[in-house]
Structure 1
Amino acid sequence: MKVLILSIALLASCPAWAHQCPGQIATLDRLLAQNPPTDKTLEAQVRELRNQGKQAHDKGQHEQAVSLLQQALDLLQRAE
């Protein structure tokens, strides 16, 4: 019974992960366009994480995508 409940919970959470990715990608794109970091190495790291996150999302690996995209957002926030 516990396995069934856990399975249902995991299946229900997958669409939430899937819908979170495009919002994070759009936020990153907007921030990079409006106020890119002055440190070009940092900007390259953020763009690489963004691209890896997009690829993971496109492959259906939404949990990994959210993690990568959040790392990119965190880097941008620390740079401010």
Structure 2
Amino acid sequence: MRRLFLFAAAFVISTPLFAMHCPADMAKIDKQLESNPPSDPAVLQQVLTLRGEGQQLHEAGKHAESVEILDQAQALLDG
């Protein structure tokens, strides 16, 4: 019972953390696209698509999935 409570508490605490993480990730991607966009149009389109998907997932409350998608977009920008 104690483990279940700890798991539930960790879940409740972590969900808002993911929610706050998404907008920061989107802002970072937007800033990088503005200052130093990828030269390859295909990569740019993929980043924009992933960024849009990340925003939709965030707005739907699927923050963990949003963070994963936004991480993929950031990896393309960094790569």
Normalized against structure 1, the TM-score is what?
0.95
**For residue 27 of structure 1, what is the amino acid of its counterpart?**
K
Identical-pair percentage: 36
**For residue 65 of structure 1, what is the amino acid of its counterpart?**
S
- Cα RMSD for the two superposed structures: 0.5
**Unmatched 5+ stretches in structure 2:** none
**For residue 66 of structure 1, what is the amino acid of its counterpart?**
V
Matched residue, 1:53: 54
Q: How many residues align?
A: 78
Matched residue, 2:21: 20
Deviating beyond 2 angstroms after TM superposition, the runs of 4 or more aligned structure 1 residues are: none
2:4 is the alignment partner of 1:9: no
The correspondence of residues 58-77 of structure 1 with structure 2, limited to 5 A, is: 58-77=59-78
**For residue 40 of structure 2, what is the amino acid of its counterpart?**
D
